Structures are given as structure tokens and as C-alpha cells.
Structure 1
Amino acid sequence: MRVVEDFGGGLGARWRVTESGQGRVQVSDHRLALHLLPTGAGYSNAQIDDYRPQPPQRKADFVWRPPPGKADFVWRPPLRLTLRARFSGAPAGTAGFGLWNHPFAPGESGLRPPQAVWFFYGAPPGHIALAQGVPGHGWKAATFDARRWQFWALLPAAPVGVLLMRVPALYNRLWPIGQRALGISERLLDDHLLGDWHSYSLEWRRDGATFWVDGRAVQRAPYAPRGPLGFVAWIDNQYAVVTPQGHLGFGLVDIADQQSLFLDDLSLESLD
């Protein structure tokens, strides 16, 4: 299967549009624009995804549908994703694009551990510090897979493990085991990339993933989720704090000035 989107005729029917709070999704001049307008209290998100292929959905014609389940994700490895992107404004909250299994759908029952292969940006006070030696915020190429059996085998020991991780010497020695169990692989990218147009690609395989920026490999992950996953691109005003030492937190940030994520030349291609 291959999907090519140049945004020349608006959004194709496969894309689902989410505009929450002050989030806005626009298409013009063969480009997709995800905007966050200045916000006060409340959650704002501008997003497209292909979790449930259907006509675009906006506030005016919203009809409730069940949240996505496993069957709603169509992509499996091997797959190649390519697009061009740039940001404007000083990004706050989170933003990015890639492949994800949308595990935290409001109102959804059942357990779906998070999985991702993506380019992800998180701004302070967000601090997701799960890759040893990589800061907890910034622009990253990353994988995450909480469905790995290694993670579930270690899970009963998590309460003790969290306490051990608070001892620096034990964290340095033991956390790589937890990081591998969660399939976490990250590479911090230069924040200077954000303000200019660049080409981003990832190749998702059953045994790992490779990420490129402007044709240069920037990250080779030794493991990756098996899927299925869905494509997502978003910008929001949310942040999270997650560390091996047991620090957990979530919140929203105010957006003082408009910030945007622009995309064009999107392609998703199965390599089987």
C-alpha cells in the first residue's frame, strides 16, 4: 500500500482532523498547516491522523464515534515515511509526526500499551527522560514499545526498581535493562532544524528503525514496535513528566503567541 499526499486538493478522505480548543487545521498552497492560536486555560490540539480512514471531521459536523481500537491502525513494518516540515513560533507543549497507536483515547476501556516510531518534540516543563544520556525535552527521533515481553517480565519489580533508580550508581548500571525492555531508542536533534524546511524520513522494520534528516541518517534504533500503528501529525499545549525515578506529571501550558507546524510532500509506503 502507498499513500502520497501533496495537499494540492485539500485533505484526502482518509485523514481524520482534530481541532481542540484553539487548534486549527488548514490546507493552502499545497501545504498542511497545524496552528495553535494563543490559549488560556484548557487543552488545545491541531492534528491529522489516519487512525480511522473517513472524511475529515470538524467541530461543526462532529458526530461521536468509538475511539480507535487495534483494528483501526493500518500500518505495519516494513514501511517508509517521508515528508517535509518546519515550525514557526517558539514551540511549547508537544508536537511531531510519525507512527503511534493512540493508547490514551478518552473513554476507551481495555489496555493498549503505548508504541511509537516518530519525530517528537517536547518543550519544558515537559521532561520525558527515559533514554539514558538523552535530555528529557527537545526535538528527537525516537522509538518506544511497551508491548515487549521483556517489559512485562520486569513489571512486577517496578516498585522496587523505581527506588533503586534514585541511586545514581544503580541507575547508571540498571536502567539500560529497563530501557531495552521498553524498546526505547532516542537521538536528540538540533533545535535549529525546527525553524526551516527540512526533509524527514523514517524506515520502520520489524527489527528496528532508521531515521533521516535531509538524506542523512541521524538515528538507527535497534528495536521497534511490530504494530499495527497509525500515522499522526500534531501540535498541542500539553506536557508530561516521566522518569525512571518515578517522577510523573501532566499539565497544560499557555500559548502566548501563535505556533504552527507545516507539512508537505507526505508519503507512506509499505515495503513488502
Structure 2
Amino acid sequence: MLILFGLSQSINAWSVNKTLLNWFKNSDVVAELHAKHVASPEARHMMKDTPLVTASDESKREFASGPIGDMVSKAMAAEQELLGDWKVQKIVEAAAGDGRDFDEEASHAALLELVQNSKITLFSFVDCPWCLLAKDLLHKYYNGDDVTLQVIELEELGWRGKEVRAAIALSTGRTSMPACFVNGKSIGGFTDGFQRTLTDKEEESILNEDAFVPSSFRDLRHLGAGGLKAMHESGELQLLLLDKVQ
């Protein structure tokens, strides 16, 4: 009975999450934010116009590491699980905004070249709290020799940053930053990674012709990676950097 009750509660929670997120994605607020991103000459994130981005780096660290930051991370994970393909589509639309043509193959090739330049490549927003934590952590591994690190701030790339972000989204299914690549494969963000096998949602997306399925479907994921923080704490990141994890 306890198991059935727990299952029922999980289903109810999932249903509520889905309802809230569907309301959110169809809201005027999201439509306005997306319009700003499409028109913007550089990549944007949803917190761009909030007081958080003007806070000190130390305040951002405290926020992202604290209980509220943890709640935000979990909410973003739920959003990714339930609205992932829709978010990818919106990021691609932003890259093709202002009457431009988004060349998926060329952008994918450019992304491959970028992530193969260094042992670790971190794509970041300059004012993102979780990007700041990721940079703090990765500098513990950087030695300039066996472990090379490049940090790419999307805003500093101008319009090309929107194309790079779209290529990351198409190749990994993730749209949030930071996006960390090790040995040319994405291990996810700071607090999230990838399941070893396809989720039911992804399998359904592949089989459903009406769904948004990128042609370069999820080809740069390091499956089984749990995200930067978890892999650091478990020691798996160190093994991956030593090429001992396949």
C-alpha cells in the first residue's frame, strides 16, 4: 500500500509539474522573453533582466549553492524533462531570427571543432550563477598541460553565440548553461547530466513523426554522466579526464 501511495503521489506531482510548465510555456511572459531573444544580437537567458545578474559574484555563488538555488535547479530539471524538445526548438528559432538562415550542419561542425580544441570546454553566460560555480570547480582541474580548459562566454560571440547554443541544444538536448564538454562529449551542466539509455520521452519523440526531432539527435552526449558537480564529488570526472571512462 505504501508503494502504491508513493507511486500515486509521484504521478500527481508529475501531473502538477506538467500542468504548471505547460501554462508557463504558453504564457505572455515567455512569449515576450522569446521575442527579445530572437531580436537580440547575442544569446540571452531568462534571468537577463532580473536583479540576480547585477549581484556580486559572491552573492551569486551563495544563491546557487543555497536552498533556493537548489530549488531553481530542480525546477529547471523538471522543465528540461517535460519541455526539452520545445526549448530546443525555441533556441533554434532564436538562432534563425532577424531574417537569418541557421545552417545546422555548419553550426554543428563549428561546435565539434570548438569542443575538440581542449580537454575541457565550458560554454557559459557571463552572469549566470551556476556558470560561475562551474568555472570555480573546473579551475581546480586545469593545469595547462594534460588538462586544458577553454571557457567560452556565449554573449562575447555576438550572433554566433546564438548559433553555438542552438548547435549545443540540437546535439545534446540541453538548452541551459553551463554546458560542459570533456573529451568532446557533453557531461551536462553543473547539476544535471544524461541517463545511460534513452528516456521514454525521447523514444516517443523519435517514433512520433509530429514531434520535433533534430537531425543530429543527441549525438554529443556522454551517456551516464551526472553533471559536473556530481561527477566531481564521485571522482568520475577525474577518471574521465584521465581517459579511464568510456
User: Fold conserved (TM > 0.5)?
Assistant: no
Question: Into which bin does the TM-score normalised by the smaller protein fall?
Answer: 0.3 to 0.5
Q: What's the TM-score once normalised by structure 2's chain length? A: 0.32
The structure with the largest helix share of the pair is: 2
Q: Please, what TM-score do these two structures have when normalized by structure 1? A: 0.30
Q: Kindly indicate whether structure 1 or structure 2 has the higher relative contact order, using CA contacts under 8 Å at least 6 residues apart.
A: 1
